[in-house]
Structure 1
Amino acid sequence: MLIVRFLSAGGDHPLVGVRDDDTDTVTELPVAAVGELLALPLTDLRALCLNNTTGTRHRAADVRLLPPVDRRTEVWAAGVTYQRSREARITESENAADVYDLVYDAPRPELFFKSAAWRVTGDGECVAIRPDSDTDVPEPELGLVVNAGAEIVGYTVVNDMSSRSIEGVNPLYLPQAKIYLGGCAVGPGIRPAWEVPDARDLPIELEIHRAGELAWSGATSTSLLRRGFDELVEHLFRAEVFPDGAVLATGTALVPDLPFTLADGDRVAITVGGVGRLTSTVVSGKDAVVKLLENR
C-alpha cells in the first residue's frame, strides 16, 4: 500500500488515494488533502486506509503522481546523522570543519527547515542546481512522515539537494545551500508505518546517470544512522507545532567524493528498500521549476 497524491486522467485538481500494487489500481480516499490525513491520530489514519472500500478506482497507469505533501505540511531535515555525512561536511568546509565534528556527538541534533509543501517536486519531475554554485549533489534520505501528534505514521523518499560549494565557505550559508526552489523532491508516496517492520534496517541506493551512462552510484543502510527516529521527532516538536504534519528527512550517508558535481540533464534515482523509488531530472536554475509548479 502506498498513500499517494495524484491527478486523475483529465482531472484538474489533486486527489488523495491508496495505490495497490497487486491490482495496479489507485483508490480515492474520502479526504481533500494529505495534510488532512496527517491531522489524524495513527489509529484513525490506519482505519481509514484499510477500510476504504467505496472510493473511486483508477488504473495506476492513468494517474499522474504528485508530491505527497500539501497544505501546511512542511519538510524538515536532519544533518550530520551518519559518519559519512560528518566526513563529507568536514572535507568540504573551508573554515569551520570542527562544527560538524561537534554536532555529530552532541546531544542536540542538527535540524533545519527544508521546504514548504508548494515548493516540493515529486517523482518524475525536476530538481535544480543553483547557478551561483559550482559543486552540487543529491542527498538520498529516508523521510519520516509525522502526524500532528508527533507519531511516525509512514515513510517516504527525500532528495535533500545540497550546494556543497556554498555551505563549504561558511556554515552560516546553509540556508542558501539547502533551501531554494528545486532543492527538495519527495515521493513517490507514503509507505504506511504498519507496513515497514524495521525502518532502522532499510537499504538506500543512489544512481546518477549522465548522457545515458552511469556517472555515480552508491549504497548504504539506515542501520548506520546514529540518531534514533523518536529522538529526531522529539527535537523537531519541542518548540514547533505541525497541524498538517511534517516530513523529516533523516540525513544521508551517500555523498559523492569531491570534485563530483551534478550537471544539467542528469537523472537521479533514489531507492529506499520497502519504501519506494524517487526519480528526478536535474535542471540549472529556477525557471524550469517555476514553469512546472505553474502548470501542475
Structure 2
Amino acid sequence: MTAGHDTFKTGIFLGRVWDPAKAGPCLVVVRDGKLIDITSKTTPTMRDLLEREDAADYAVRADGPVLATLEALLSQTAEGQDPQAMHLLAPNDLQAVKACGVTFARSMIERVIEERAAGNPDLAVKMREKVVAIVGDSLRNLKAGSPQAAKVKEALIEVGVWSQYLEVGIGPDAEVFSKAQVLSSVGHGADVGLHPISKWNNPEPEIVLVVSSAGKVVGATLGNDVNLRDVEGRSALLLGKAKDNNASCSIGPFIRLFDATYSIDDVRNAELRLKVVGDDGFVLDGRSSMKEISRDPLDLVSQTIGRHHQYPDGLVLFMGTLFAPTEDRDTPGQGFTHKIGDRVTISNDELGSLTNRVKLSTDCPPWVFGTSHLMRNLAARKLL
C-alpha cells in the first residue's frame, strides 16, 4: 500500500527538517538515501528556493552537510516522534495553503448528501439513495462549466435537488478556500487533528500542487485535507471551522519538482492510495484517481492565482479527492468515521507516502512556531 524508498531514486525531492541543533527548520534535498542540508543565505526558506527560475538545477547542484538518512526520518511515527528531536516538517513554509473542493463527481454527490442530511450520518443513507436515483453517474463525465453541465444544472433545479455543492462541482466557478495558516501544516509522521465537536469525519487523500508567485506550477506533493463531514454539512458557513484547526492539514513527505522525469501530465494521471488502520483492527482501503477530476489542475490554479488574487510568497493548492467513504465502521447505516489512534497513509508511486496518526486537535502538539519565530530564527543563524 505504501510507496517504497525507490520512489526517491528518480527525480528531485525537496523537504524541510526540524534541526534541534539550530532550533529551527532546514531545507533538504534527497540524494542517495540521505537528506542534504541546502539552507543558505540565498535560499533560507522553501519559498525562496521555489521562486528561483532555476530551482530544479539549483537543487541538483546545491550541497551541504548530511542531516539524516531518508530511512531514519521516514520511519518515524507520531508515537516515537520527539518534537524536540530531528523530524520531517511539512515541506512548504511561507506559501499560502489553499484548497479546491468538490472537484470530483463522486465526492460532489457526497457533499450534497452531507448538506441534505444536515451533518447527520443517520440520514445519509436515505439521502444517498434519493440523490443517486436522480443523478446516477450522469455527472461523472461532465466538464465543469460546459454547456452540457448547464443543462444538467437546469434539470436538477427542476426536480428540486440543486445544491451549492453541485454549483461549484459542475458550474463555471471552482470552490477555492484557505485550508490552513502559513507554517501551521504538519508533515509526515506527525499527529493530525480532529476538532472535538466533530463526530463524523474522514481523511481526504489529495495531490497538492506547488505554485510560485508568478502562478507557475513548479512541483507537487501529497496532502491530507482532514474533513469534518458533520460540521461542514450543517452549514457551508462553517467551512472555515471545519477545515482550519490545529494539525488539521498534513503535507509531505517531500515536494517533487517538475523536471524531465516528472510533469503536470504525471499529476493528471496520478493514482493515489489510502489506507486507514485503526487500533480496533478496522482497515479501510481507498483510492483517488486524478483521471476523474472534473476540472484540469491548471484551471484550478488559474482560478486561484492571477490578476484577481496575488500570492507574493506563492501557494500550495489541494485539488480535491475522489475518495468519499461510505463503508460502515460500527453502526449499520452510519458509514465511516475516524477513531482516535487511526493510522492514515496516503501514497503514490511518484510522490512517496504520507503517514499520520489521528488525534483530537486539542491533544495534538500546539502550533507555536509562526512566521515571526521563523524570521527571528533565520536572523540568529545569519541567514537573513
Q: Scaled by the length of structure 1, what TM-score is found?
A: 0.91
Partner of 1:196: 262
Matched, 1:48 2:58: yes
Asked if the contact 2:205/2:288 (under 8 Å) is kept, the reply is: no
Alignment of 1:1-296 (within 5 A): 1-8=12-19, 10-20=21-31, 23-29=32-38, 30=40, 31-41=43-53, 44-52=54-62, 54-60=63-69, 61=72, 64-71=87-94, 73-94=95-116, 98-194=163-259, 195-197=261-263, 198-211=266-279, 213-238=281-306, 239-257=308-326, 258-290=334-366
User: Shift in Å at residue 159 of structure 1?
Assistant: 0.5
Structure 1 unaligned residues grouped into runs of 5+:
none
- Look up the equivalent residue of 2:88 and give its one-letter code: L
Instruction: Give the Cα–Cα distance (whole angstroms) in 2 for the partners of residues 11 and 64 of structure 1.
Output: 13
Task: Label 1:98 to 1:210 Cα distance change in 2 as closer, same or farther (>3 A).
Answer: same
Task: Label 1:291 to 1:113 Cα distance change in 2 as closer, same or farther (>3 A).
Answer: closer
Instruction: Give the Cα–Cα distance (whole angstroms) in 1 for the partners of residues 294 and 66 of structure 2.
Output: 42
Aligned length: 289
User: Shift in Å at residue 264 of structure 1?
Assistant: 1.0
User: Shift in Å at residue 9 of structure 1?
Assistant: 6.9
Instruction: Give the Cα–Cα distance (whole angstroms) in 2 for the partners of residues 76 and 218 of structure 1.
Output: 24
Instruction: Give the Cα–Cα distance (whole angstroms) in 2 for the partners of residues 291 and 151 of structure 1.
Output: 29
User: Shift in Å at residue 134 of structure 1?
Assistant: 1.0
Instruction: Give the Cα–Cα distance (whole angstroms) in 1 for the partners of residues 272 and 368 of structure 2.
Output: 28
Task: Label 1:293 to 1:260 Cα distance change in 2 as closer, same or farther (>3 A).
Answer: farther
Instruction: Give the Cα–Cα distance (whole angstroms) in 2 for the partners of residues 228 and 249 of structure 1.
Output: 13
* Greater mean alpha carbon deviation, residues 172-181 or residues 243-252: 172-181
Instruction: Give the Cα–Cα distance (whole angstroms) in 1 for the partners of residues 277 and 309 of structure 2.
Output: 39
Asked if the contact 1:91/1:97 (under 8 Å) is kept, the reply is: no
Instruction: Give the Cα–Cα distance (whole angstroms) in 1 for the partners of residues 310 and 285 of structure 2.
Output: 37
Q: CA RMSD in A?
A: 2.1
- Look up the equivalent residue of 2:341 and give its one-letter code: G
SS at match of 1:93: helix
Question: Structure 1, residues 131-154: CA drift from partner, whole Å, max 9, x if none?
Answer: 111101111100000111111111
Structure 2 unaligned residues grouped into runs of 5+:
1-11, 74-85, 119-160, 327-333, 375-384
SS at match of 2:218: strand
Q: Scaled by the length of structure 2, what TM-score is found?
A: 0.71
Instruction: Give the Cα–Cα distance (whole angstroms) in 2 for the partners of residues 214 and 48 of structure 1.
Output: 45
Asked if the contact 1:144/1:154 (under 8 Å) is kept, the reply is: yes
User: Shift in Å at residue 279 of structure 1?
Assistant: 0.7
User: Shift in Å at residue 178 of structure 1?
Assistant: 1.1
- Look up the equivalent residue of 1:112 and give its one-letter code: F
Larger CA Rg, structure 1 vs 2: 2
SS at match of 1:223: helix
SS at match of 1:177: helix
Instruction: Give the Cα–Cα distance (whole angstroms) in 2 for the partners of residues 120 and 64 of structure 1.
Output: 14
SS at match of 1:117: coil
User: Shift in Å at residue 186 of structure 1?
Assistant: 0.5
Instruction: Give the Cα–Cα distance (whole angstroms) in 1 for the partners of residues 44 and 280 of structure 2.
Output: 39
User: Shift in Å at residue 35 of structure 1?
Assistant: 1.4
Asked if the contact 1:147/1:246 (under 8 Å) is kept, the reply is: yes
Asked if the contact 2:18/2:89 (under 8 Å) is kept, the reply is: yes
Instruction: Give the Cα–Cα distance (whole angstroms) in 1 for the partners of residues 169 and 349 of structure 2.
Output: 25
- Look up the equivalent residue of 2:60 and give its one-letter code: L
User: Shift in Å at residue 130 of structure 1?
Assistant: 1.2
Asked if the contact 1:38/1:244 (under 8 Å) is kept, the reply is: no
- Look up the equivalent residue of 1:86 and give its one-letter code: M
- Look up the equivalent residue of 1:247 and give its one-letter code: V
